[in-house]
Structures are given as C-alpha cells and as structure tokens.
C-alpha cells in the first residue's frame, strides 16, 4: 500500500477524532462557533479540495474534502448562537468574500492557491477575535488536531508543488497559532482572576 494513502486516511481519521469533542462541546453550549468563519471555510475547503484533486494531489486532498463536509455541519450548528457580530467581523467576512471571488476568477493555479490561503486566514479573523475575547468558548484540541491533519496531508500529497502545498501549510500555521493564542489567553485570564 502506498504510504500517501495511509497518510491521507490518517489525516481524515485525526480530523474525525478532533471533531468529536468539538461537536460534544457545541451540543453542550460550551463551544460557540463563529458562523462567518465556518461559512467561508466550508466554501473554500470544498473548492480547495477540487483544485487539489484536479492538480493531482491524490490522498493529500482527502483532508480538505472531509473538512469541507464538517465545515458545512459546524456552520449550520453556529446558527444556534444568535450572536450579534461587531463591524470587524463583517469587514473580515466581506474581505474574505472579495478574496474568494478573486480566487475564483484567477486562472493561474499558484495565484489561486495563494488567494485561497489568504481567504482562509481572513475567515479566521472573527474566530481569532472571539477566541481572544472569550477563549473558553472554543475547543483548542480540535484546532490542534486540524493543524496535525493538514500537516499529515502535506506528506500525503501525490504531486508536491507550491500549488498543492501552500493551502494545507497555511492551515497548519493558522490552526496551531489559534491554539497557542487560546492557551495564552486562558492563562492570562486565570492569572488575572487569582
């Protein structure tokens, strides 16, 4: 069996394991996903999967495909939160959607890969803002395992190029940075309340 298939399956398995506590925390009301982020992530993960697949990423694209499905479900769950969104979240959503449109009209795979990575990072802004203000309303283990999932998917790529590599690499960075930020903020809050 090709090691890329094993890594592709392992990446999807890590993702599945990571979302178990996330959905448990959503159902208990402990985790409150931000609808804007999950909407954009659902769209771009689906399109990124399509690009990776057509560019020959093979099993390395499976994580993006699975992520797209999960993001749709989390987006639908986010509507339970009935939040009002500050202007910064609306700006981030609009800029992410503009970047998404630019990505869709770009005819060059590398430009598209850069734009999808930027769009994903912009979609993270509302979640980062919420995570900074209320770090206990999210599930760090899920984002940590998401980073691991995309790290594994880098080694599962059948065709390794900047075009197939940049998107999952950017997801490793943004997910792990979010986890670090949440733990730092939790530590700061605990220190303040002592």
Range 151-178 average pLDDT: 88
pLDDT for residue 82: 67
Q: In this structure, is the dihedral angle defined by the CA atoms of residues 107, 118, 17 and 25, taken in order, positive or negative?
A: negative
87: CB partners within 8 A, 6+ apart: none
Better pLDDT: 139 or 81: 139
Work out the mean pLDDT of the chain and round it to a whole number: 85
- pLDDT for residue 105: 80
Its sign, for the CA torsion 27, 33, 39, 40, is negative
Q: Does residue 6 have a pLDDT over 80?
A: yes
pTM over 0.85: no
Provide Rg for the chain, Cα atoms.
16
**pLDDT, position 43:** 84
> Cβ–Cβ contacts within 10 Å for residue 6, how many?
14
86-109 tens-digit pLDDT: 788 788 778 777 877 877 787 777
Question: Per residue in 65-81, pLDDT tens?
Answer: 888 999 999 988 887 76
pLDDT at 186 over 70: yes
Buried b (16+ CB within 10 A) or exposed e, 10-26: bbbebbeebbebbbebb
Q: Which of 88, 181, 73, 160 is nearest to 126 (CA)?
A: 88
Instruction: For residues 66 and 9, give the distance between their C-alpha atoms in angstroms, rounded to a whole number.
Output: 11
Alpha-carbon span 65 to 154, nearest angstrom: 14
How many residues can be counted in the chain? 194
pLDDT for res 138: 92
Per-residue pLDDT averaged across 20-49, rounded? Answer: 87
pLDDT recorded at residue 194: 67
The fraction of the chain above a pLDDT of 70, given in percent, is 97
Q: What is the mean pLDDT of residues 183-188?
A: 95
pLDDT at position 181 over 80: yes
CA 135 to chain centre: 17
């Amino acid at each position: 069996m090709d090691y890329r298939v094993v890594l592709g399956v392992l990446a999807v398995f890590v993702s599945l394991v990571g979302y178990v506590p996330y959905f448990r925390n959503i159902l208990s009301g402990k985790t409150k996903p931000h609808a804007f982020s999950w909407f954009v992530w659902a769209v771009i993960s689906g399109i990124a999967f399509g690009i990776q697949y057509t560019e020959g990423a093979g099993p390395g694209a499976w994580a993006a495909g699975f992520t797209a499905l999960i993001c749709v479900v989390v987006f639908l769950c986010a509507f339970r939160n009935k939040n009002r969104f500050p202007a910064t979240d609306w700006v981030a959503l609009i800029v992410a959607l503009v970047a998404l449109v630019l990505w869709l009209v770009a005819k060059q795979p590398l430009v598209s890969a850069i734009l999808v990575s930027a769009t994903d990072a912009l979609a993270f802004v509302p979640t980062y803002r919420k995570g900074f203000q209320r770090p206990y309303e999210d599930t760090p283990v899920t984002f940590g395992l998401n980073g691991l999932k995309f790290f594994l998917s880098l080694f599962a790529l059948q065709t390794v190029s900047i075009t197939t590599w940049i998107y999952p690499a950017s997801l490793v960075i943004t997910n792990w940075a979010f986890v670090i930020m949440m733990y730092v903020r939790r530590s700061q809050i605990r220190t303040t309340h002592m």
